[in-house]
Each structure stands twice: as C-alpha cells, then as structure tokens.
Amino acid sequence: MKIDPETHHRSLYRTLTGAVIPRPIGWISTTSEDGVDNLAPYSFFNVVSALPPTVMFAPNKEGGEEIKDSARNAEANGEFVHNVVTADLAEGMNQTAATLPPAESEFDHADIERAPSEKVSPPRVAGAKLSFECEVQDIVDIGHAKVVFGEVVLVHADESVLTDDGKVDVEQIDAAGRLAGNWYASTDDRFRMVRPD
C-alpha cells in the first residue's frame, strides 16, 4: 500500500500518530491575559536544543481555524511550563484534555494542585517530578499547527528522580508516552544498548 498525501481522502493524522510512537507528552501550563490558568497535554512535543535548552509543542488549530488556549496564552504572555507526565499523573493529565471554555481552568476541572513557578507566571503541576519553566522564543505557523518554541529558564526536579550527581535517572522516572487513539505507553519496560564508537 502507498499513501500519497496529495490524493489521500483524509489527513495523515492517524498514520503519523500510529507510526511515530511513543511520543513524549508536553503537559503545558499557561495563564491567559484574564488570569485563567490553562493546563493541556500535547503529544506533538519534544526537546529541540540543549544549548540554549529549548523545547517545543505544536497545538493544531481547532478545525484548522481556532487557535488553542495554550498557544494563544503563550503567544500573549511569552511563557509556559512543561510538566512531565508520569504514570501516577496520567489520569489527571487525561482529564485536562477535556474541551473547556477559555474562562474555565483545567487545573480546577481535573482537581490538579498548582505549585508556583519562580521565573514565569504560569503555575506548575505540584505533583510533577519534573517541570520546565519556559520563555517563548518563537512561534511558527505550519499548516494547521502553531509550533511554540520555549527556552527552559528553570527546571524543578524531585530528588527521587535524580542520580547522586544531579542527573535525571531514567530508571526512576516512569514517564507516560502517547501512542494513537486512546493508547498510551509507559517507560517502565527499558532495555540498554551501548552506543558504538
């Protein structure tokens, strides 16, 4: 079978999300100009650069028209926080995927406890083992997506997921990843390979 995006009768969303797996989940908190705290998960998320430390999330516009609250807030205020989703937070993360009006906070809807950030205005998820405070560096429109790039200006890390020398211990953080449809994956089934010279 061959799929040509130009002649395919629908978008390649399911093909892409079914094949690019697992995808890390950007659990993005922002604050609106009216002071409403927004919290939403994005599986179009990743790290972009280590120097400067930069992450990105790419919300698709609703129906190709309406910009999502997270992108609108990040564009207006120049800030967001990425909260790492671990297995214990997965159900709460899923609840924040609900479609709510901009005046209603997903933190309150899903009963997610806030924690104050230090360098940016949007709150963090209090239960997150890792949170990255970010300042928006650029926003790029690509088709129906707005790609939001943010420089990490402060990291909050729970000591339980760190090694003795302060690195993230991949054996201690059970992050959730997005597959397709209603499917998710965890990182508790790990294997190791030594990179060749």
* Position with higher pLDDT, 171 vs 54: 54
| Per-residue pLDDT at 34 exceeds 60 | yes
pLDDT reported for residue 191: 84
| Per-residue pLDDT at 63 exceeds 80 | no
d(CA 108, CA 95): 10
Of 18, 15, 149, nearest to 80 by C-alpha is 149
pLDDT reported for residue 65: 59
Parse the chain into domains and list their residue ranges. 24-186
Quote the tokens at residue 71: 């992108």
Confidence of residue 14 (pLDDT cuts 50, 70, 90): confident
Residue 103: alpha-carbon gap to chain centroid: 21
pLDDT reported for residue 187: 86
Neighbouring CB atoms inside 10 A of 123's CB total 22
Find out whether 151 and 64 touch, Cβ atoms under 8 Å.
Answer: no
Predicted TM-score (pTM) of the model is 0.92
d(CA 184, CA 181): 9
What percentage of the chain reaches a pLDDT higher than 70? 97
Question: What is the third-level CATH fold of 24-186?
Answer: Pnp Oxidase; Chain A (2.30.110)
| Per-residue pLDDT at 61 exceeds 80 | no
How much is the average pLDDT of 83-104? 95
Confidence of residue 135 (pLDDT cuts 50, 70, 90): very high
| Per-residue pLDDT at 181 exceeds 70 | yes
Mean pLDDT of the chain: 93
Confidence of residue 128 (pLDDT cuts 50, 70, 90): very high
